[in-house]
């Protein structure tokens, strides 16, 4: 696995999905990518993690027991506006998903099954955007 360079810590990506198989597969396939990967099996678990540590990018499914993905991402936008929010769902037609997109709660919307290349590209662009935003707000201070 790649070792982080001393200057830049790796972006932290949180995957939230109620399917453990999917979380494991994500972790495996992204293991050689320059990210620190955390997983959560529900929105509630995800929120608990966000309270404990810094996360840069959140990728969430829509259909989950308890809090749905769109609600989860809306809360993150309110509480942690700097986190880049991505939805990865197997059901893009769902009204709640469409609403989340239109309400601007998402940076990007991905439809399962998403190809590995597209996922990597999206994460790369998300990380880049996040870094740029952090730099510009640092400059403004």
Partner 1 sequence: MSGQTSMVFEDLVAVERSVIAAAPMAMLLLDADGYIVLANARAERCFSCSSLEGSTFEALVDAESRLRWRGMAAGRRDVAPPAGEDTACSVELRGLRPGRTFLMEVSLAPLGATSAMTLVVVRDVTSDRAREQQQEAAIRASRDTCLRLDLLLTFAPAFIIEVSRQGTIEFINQTLPQYTREGTIGSSWLQYFAPSRHAFMAEVLEEVYTSGATRSYEVSTPAPDGSVVWFESRIAPMRMAGQIVGAVLVSQDITERKRVEGEVIAGRPMALLGTLASGIAHEINTPVQFVGDSIHFLRDAVSTLFALFDQIQELRRAAIAGSPMAAIALAAEKAEDEADLPFLRVNVPQAFDSCISGLARVATIVRSLKDFVHPSEGDMLPADLNRAIQSTVAIAINEYKYFADVRTELGELPLVTCRLSDIAQAILNIIVNAAHAIEGVVGGTEERGEITIRSWREGEWAVISIRDTGTGIAESIQARVFDPFFTTKEVGKGTGQGLAIARTAVNEHHRGQLTFETRLGEGTTFFIRLPIETPPSTSTSAEIDAGVAAS
Residues that bind partner 1 (CB under 8 A): 1, 17, 19, 21-22, 24-26, 28-29, 31-32, 61, 63-65, 88-91, 93-94, 111-116
CB of 24 to partner 1, least distance (A): 7
CB of 71 to partner 1, least distance (A): 13
Strands (E) in 2-140, as ranges, are 12-16, 36-40, 57-60, 84-89, 108-111
Give me the phi and psi of 86, to 5 degrees please.
-130, 135
Return d(Cα 96, Cα 43) in angstroms, integer.
Answer: 15
Which one, 13 or 26, has the nearer CB to partner 1? 26
CB of 69 to partner 1, least distance (A): 12
List the beta bridge partners of residue 13.
37, 57
Which one, 89 or 122, has the nearer CB to partner 1? 89
Which one, 28 or 82, has the nearer CB to partner 1? 28
Cβ-based neighbours of 128, under 8 Å, separated by 6 or more: none
Going by the DSSP 8-state scheme, the letter that residue 31 receives in this structure is T
Return d(Cα 41, Cα 20) in angstroms, integer.
Answer: 7
Which one, 63 or 75, has the nearer CB to partner 1? 63
CB of 102 to partner 1, least distance (A): 18
């Amino acid at each position: 696995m790649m070792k982080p360079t001393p200057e830049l810590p790796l972006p932290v990506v949180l995957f939230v999905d109620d399917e453990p198989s999917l979380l494991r597969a994500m972790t495996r396939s992204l293991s050689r990518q320059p990210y620190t990967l955390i997983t959560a099996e529900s929105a509630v678990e995800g929120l608990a993690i966000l309270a404990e540590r810094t996360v840069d990018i959140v990728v969430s499914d829509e259909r989950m027991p308890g809090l749905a993905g769109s609600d989860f991402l809306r809360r993150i936008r309110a509480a942690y506006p700097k986190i880049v929010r991505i939805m990865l769902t197997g059901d893009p037609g769902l009204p709640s998903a469409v609403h989340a997109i239109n309400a601007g709660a998402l940076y990007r919307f991905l439809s399962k099954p998403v190809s590995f290349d597209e996922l990597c590209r999206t994460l790369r662009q998300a990380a880049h955007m996040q870094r740029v935003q952090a730099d510009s707000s640092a400059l403004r201070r």
